[in-house]
Amino acid sequence: MKIVERSSVGSVMVLSILLVCFAFGFSLVPRVAAQGEYVGVKKCRVCHMPQANAWEKTKMSKVFELLKPGVAAEVKKAHKIDPEKDYTKDSSCLQCHTTGYGKGGFKDIESTPDLAGVTCEACHGPGGGYLKDDLMSLKNKEFKRADVQAAGLVIPDAKTCANCHNEKSPFVEKGAPFDFEKRKAQGTHEHFALKYKH
């Protein structure tokens, strides 16, 4: 009978320890990025420096700044938006002025600053699934594009952009068609020839 009691006590202790670990967010297994997890622009920059440098010069990299009071005041006034209001916590704005808001990405500027603005993953999907040693990495320079797409890489198209560039935006003229090719040339990043075949 004592053996059963000890076994039960041991099981209860193990279960209690596991519950405490999970309650506080600890894990007994090393943490790796899941498929839908956002990893941030710094991870992309390692392999895509020219694209990252070109992107930093675009409006898309700086769109979070537009949410701050007093920034682009004349443009905001022209679109009947209060130029002195702070929109940096406005969920209707954060969906398009950050990366992955409401989808496990941007939470706030303090805890997720690398996801402010329209970063790589806003257009190419969360990198957690495809930025891996056996997929897209410096260890696998000749990865297959089909493999990384299957793991979550998005090749953006007009529909990708239309998630934000649509009539819900106060800056989009009602009924104006979205010109994907024109906007792509103006606002994303330079498209450099890749060094390796994919």
- What's the pLDDT at 4? 46
Return mean pLDDT, the chain.
81
Query: What band does 173 get if pLDDT is binned at 50, 70 and 90?
Result: confident
Q: Is residue 38 within 8 Å of 121, Cβ to Cβ?
A: yes
Structure confidence by residue, pLDDT tens digits, 22-80: 333 333 333 334 457 999 999 999 888 988 998 999 889 999 999 999 999 999 999 99
Query: What band does 18 get if pLDDT is binned at 50, 70 and 90?
Result: very low
Q: What's this model's pTM, rounded to 2 decimal places? A: 0.75
Count of domains forming the chain: 2
Q: Residue 81 above 90 pLDDT?
A: yes
Q: Residue 105 above 70 pLDDT?
A: yes
CATH number at 70 reads 1.10.1130.10
Taking CB atoms within 8 Å and a gap of at least 24, the contacts of 142-151 are 142/196, 142/197, 142/198, 143/198, 144/198, 145/198, 148/198, 151/35
- Asked if 101 and 18 sit in the same domain, the reply is no
Residue 193 domain-assigned?
Answer: no
- Asked if 67 and 126 sit in the same domain, the reply is yes
Residue 198 domain-assigned?
Answer: no
Residue 169 domain-assigned?
Answer: yes
- Asked if 57 and 74 sit in the same domain, the reply is yes
- Asked if 83 and 13 sit in the same domain, the reply is no
**Range with lowest mean pLDDT among 82-86, 132-136, 146-150, 194-198:** 194-198
Q: What are phi and psi of 134, to 5 degrees?
A: -85, 0
Query: What band does 167 get if pLDDT is binned at 50, 70 and 90?
Result: confident
Range of the domain at 21: 1-31
The single residue listed with the structure tokens 């410096």 is: 138
- What's the pLDDT at 104? 95
Burial of 118 (C-beta count, 10 Å sphere; 0-12/13-18/19+) = buried
- Asked if 22 and 79 sit in the same domain, the reply is no
- Asked if 68 and 14 sit in the same domain, the reply is no
Residue 194 domain-assigned?
Answer: no
- Asked if 147 and 75 sit in the same domain, the reply is yes
Residue 173 domain-assigned?
Answer: yes
Structure confidence by residue, pLDDT tens digits, 47-63: 889 889 989 998 899 99
CA distance readout (Å), 106 to 27, 38, 98: 23, 9, 6
Residue 67 domain-assigned?
Answer: yes
- Asked if 100 and 7 sit in the same domain, the reply is no
- What's the pLDDT at 184? 74
- Asked if 9 and 58 sit in the same domain, the reply is no
Residue 113 domain-assigned?
Answer: yes
Burial of 70 (C-beta count, 10 Å sphere; 0-12/13-18/19+) = exposed
Residue 118 domain-assigned?
Answer: yes
**Range with lowest mean pLDDT among 91-95, 118-122, 149-153, 170-174:** 170-174
- Asked if 71 and 138 sit in the same domain, the reply is yes
- Asked if 24 and 103 sit in the same domain, the reply is no
- Asked if 96 and 1 sit in the same domain, the reply is no
